[in-house]
């Protein structure tokens, strides 16, 4: 029983503690105090639940990591795999030879780690990502995160003359701030969101990527005649739809429409640009341009159908190249484009794209070894670790560079070209960082998912989603954010 529990949770400690908790609930054992549970879940070092004493700050150890304290790192086991993180852990262990890092990867971040936050025994570094991401607003609101400013102000791993913050891509530091100066999150990956397709398939239709919605419908009609659906998406996780829909809304109505949505302003979703874009997407459903059965597909199934040529377009992030590597044919010629707009009256030019930090890393405030968690991130933000990530998982990192001398894969090359084309026209809607439940369950599943399955009209979807946003705006238990 213990071992299967450990497998399910991805960390031995949690499995063991679950076993103890269940046994205690069944009356099989008596649990004298919480400290016994804390000891079971501790991350190495002493088991008293105390924080590791800070080490001596030196040029090689600018954060003052205790060179004998254990460090625990829990990674989200997703599209980027875990090899890049394991490689960075080896560097940490080489730099601190007396230390063994306890590393684990799981898809069940929330169910594995929320109990440990509640008990005051969280790991030292967490990649808080995936379908079971913990709500950042709640973590910040409950003071459960460490301010990462010391990491950002530390000398960078490669060049002691530069601070870590000076080596990062634009927007990364700001993304980790909720209000004021403190930085709670370090987004490690740099993701390009958009509409992904096979250039070969598009060429076979003798078409260019469509820049207006009329052109989009014409391309989908052509594909349909050849037995290929225009679109598919992760029907079970319809919060993938905003990866192309949100930047389209920004393109049509301007950045301020996305800001109003992020700020939970009354009637933000009732803006004409939102309605126009919902109508456009609904037309894909009405005209039969969406792959049959899409509402029942998860992200892997929809990506596989698309890779097999059953659908031309899929809304996704740049991790798709790595996540679908096994199913994408050699001659697929993977490409990404900024979303198609409506017409020439759009406020922003074609090429307007959503790109931003992804894979949010956090150091809990109750971490036993917060300095160790930050040092692991400092290592990951070196040029070598960044290059390792990019060459292994076909995605950019928050480190501003790290592509020199790497042969870029088709998708990555296309993503870099899309960023170049966008220039300053990069939007970064924050709903998915700030309001996880609202974005995934309400806007995604109950709103867009229902609309794209034909069970809600665009007008009904707008009304429903506005209602959810209004509820979130009134909910004082959620920390609210404002675009400055």
- pLDDT averaged per 10 residues in sequence order, the chain, 484 residues: 31 34 35 34 44 92 96 95 97 97 97 95 96 88 95 97 94 85 94 97 98 98 98 97 98 97 96 98 98 98 98 96 94 98 98 94 97 98 96 91 87 92 91 88 97 98 98 87 71
Query: Are residues 317 and 387 located together in one domain of the fold?
Result: no
Backbone phi, psi, residue 187, to 5°: -80, 115
Sign of torsion over alpha carbons 414, 417, 421, 425? positive
* Same domain as 21, residue 99: no
* Whole-number Å distance between alpha carbons of 236 and 19: 31
Domain-embedded: residue 146: yes
Query: What element of type H or E holds 335?
Result: strand 334-337
Residues 184, 273 within the same domain: no
Q: What is the CATH number of the domain that holds 464?
A: 3.40.190.10
pLDDT at 15: 37
In angstroms, the CA 390 to CA 395 distance is 5
CA distance 304 to 301: 5
Cβ atoms of 253 and 274 within 8 Å: the answer is yes
As for how many domains the chain has, the answer is: 3
For residue 483, CA distances in Å to 136, 164, 255, 434, 467 come to 16, 25, 11, 12, 21
Report phi then psi at 258, rounded to 5. Answer: -65, -40
CB-based contact 160:59 (threshold 8 Å): yes
The whole domain housing 18 covers 1-37
Instruction: Please tell me whether residues 287 and 321 are part of one structural domain.
Output: yes
8-state DSSP, 232: -
141 in the same domain as 158 = yes
Q: Mark which of 397, 423, 456 sits at the end of a domain.
A: 397
Which residue matches tokens 């029942």? 296
DSSP-derived secondary structure letter, 72: E
Identify the H or E element spanning 83.
helix 83-95
CB neighbour class for 196 (10 Å; exposed up to 12, middle 13-18, buried from 19):
buried
**Closest listed residue to residue 72, CA positions, set 41, 98, 48, 115:** 41
- For residue 484, is it within any domain? no
Of 368, 397, 426, the one marking the end of a domain is: 397
Residue 43 within a domain: no
* Residues 399, 411: Cα–Cα separation, whole Å: 19
Least Cα distance to 435 among 264, 190, 242 occurs for 264
| Distance from C-alpha of 73 to C-alpha of 122, rounded to nearest angstrom | 10
E strand or H helix at 450: helix 450-452
Residue found under tokens 């993977």? 334
Q: How does strand 186-198 pair with strand 311-317? A: antiparallel
Task: Tell whether 455 is covered by a domain.
Answer: yes
* Boundary (domain end) residue, out of 366, 397, 428: 397
- Say yes or no: 180 and 53 in one domain: yes
Q: Do 254 and 307 belong together in one domain?
A: yes
| Coil/strand/helix, residue 361 | strand
Whether residue 481 is contained in a domain is answered as no
Whether the CB-CB separation of 422 and 192 falls below 8 Å is answered with: no
- The answer to whether residues 4 and 85 belong to one domain is no
Query: Do residue 11 and residue 78 come from a single domain?
Result: no
Contacts of residue 29, Cβ cutoff 8 Å, sequence gap at least 6: 20, 23
- Can you read off the two tokens belonging to residue 399? 């480190």
Residues 235 and 175 in one domain: no
* Domain membership flag for residue 483: no
364 domain-assigned: yes
In a domain, 403, yes or no: no
Instruction: Kindly state whether residues 154 and 24 are assigned to the same domain.
Output: no
**Are 116 and 259 part of one and the same domain?**
no
pLDDT at position 484: 61
What are the phi and psi torsion angles at 316 (to 5°)?
-165, 180
CA-to-CA distance for 115 and 137, rounded, in angstroms? 17
| Helix, strand, coil % in the chain, rounded to nearest 5 | 45, 15, 40
């Amino acid at each position: 029983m213990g071992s299967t529990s450990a497998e399910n949770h991805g960390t031995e400690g949690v499995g063991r503690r679950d076993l103890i908790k269940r046994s205690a609930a069944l009356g099989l054992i008596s649990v004298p105090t919480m400290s016994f549970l804390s000891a079971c879940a501790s991350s190495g070092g002493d088991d008293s639940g105390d924080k590791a004493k800070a080490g001596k700050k030196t040029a090689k150890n600018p954060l003052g990591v205790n060179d004998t304290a254990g460090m625990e790192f829990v990674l989200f086991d997703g599209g980027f795999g875990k090899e890049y993180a394991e490689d960075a852990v080896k560097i940490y262990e080489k730099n601190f030879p007396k230390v063994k890092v306890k590393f684990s990867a799981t898809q069940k971040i929330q169910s594995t780690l929320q109990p440990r936050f509640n008990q005051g025994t969280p790991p030292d570094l967490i990649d808080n990502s995936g379908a079971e991401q913990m709500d950042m607003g709640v973590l910040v609101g409950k003071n459960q995160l460490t301010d990462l400013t010391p990491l950002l102000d530390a000398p960078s791993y490669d060049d002691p003359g530069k601070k870590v913050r000076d080596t990062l891509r634009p927007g990364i530091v700001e993304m980790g701030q909720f209000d004021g100066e403190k930085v709670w999150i370090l987004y490690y990956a740099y993701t390009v969101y958009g509409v992904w397709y096979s250039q070969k398939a598009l060429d076979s239709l003798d078409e260019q990527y469509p820049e207006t919605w009329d052109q989009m419908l014409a391309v989908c009609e052509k594909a349909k005649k050849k037995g290929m659906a225009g679109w598919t998406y992760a029907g079970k996780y319809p919060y993938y739809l905003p990866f192309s829909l949100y930047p389209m809304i920004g393109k049509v109505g301007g950045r301020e429409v996305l800001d109003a949505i992020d700020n939970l302003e009354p009637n933000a979703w009732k803006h004409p640009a939102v309605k126009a874009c919902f109508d456009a997407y609904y037309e894909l459903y009405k005209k039969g341009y969406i792959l049959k059965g899409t509402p029942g597909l998860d992200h892997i199934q929809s990506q596989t159908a698309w890779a097999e040529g059953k659908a031309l377009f899929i809304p996704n992030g740049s991790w798709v190249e790595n996540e679908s590597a096994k199913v994408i044919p050699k001659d697929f010629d993977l490409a990404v484009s900024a979303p198609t707009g409506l017409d020439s009256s759009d406020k922003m030019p074609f090429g307007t794209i959503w790109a931003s930090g992804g894979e949010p890393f956090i150091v809990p405030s109750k971490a036993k070894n917060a300095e160790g968690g930050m040092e692991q991130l400092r290592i990951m933000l070196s040029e070598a670790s960044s290059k390792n990530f990019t060459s292994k998982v076909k995605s950019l990192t928050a480190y501003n560079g790290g592509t020199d001398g790497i042969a870029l894969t088709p998708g990555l090359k296309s993503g870099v070209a899309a960023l170049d084309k966008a220039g300053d026209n990069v939007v970064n809607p924050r709903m998915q960082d700030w309001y996880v439940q609202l974005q995934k369950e309400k806007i995604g599943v109950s709103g867009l998912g229902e609309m794209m399955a034909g069970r809600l009209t665009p007008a009904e979807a707008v009304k429903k989603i506005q209602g959810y946003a209004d509820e979130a705006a009134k909910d004082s238990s959620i920390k609210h954010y404002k675009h400055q």
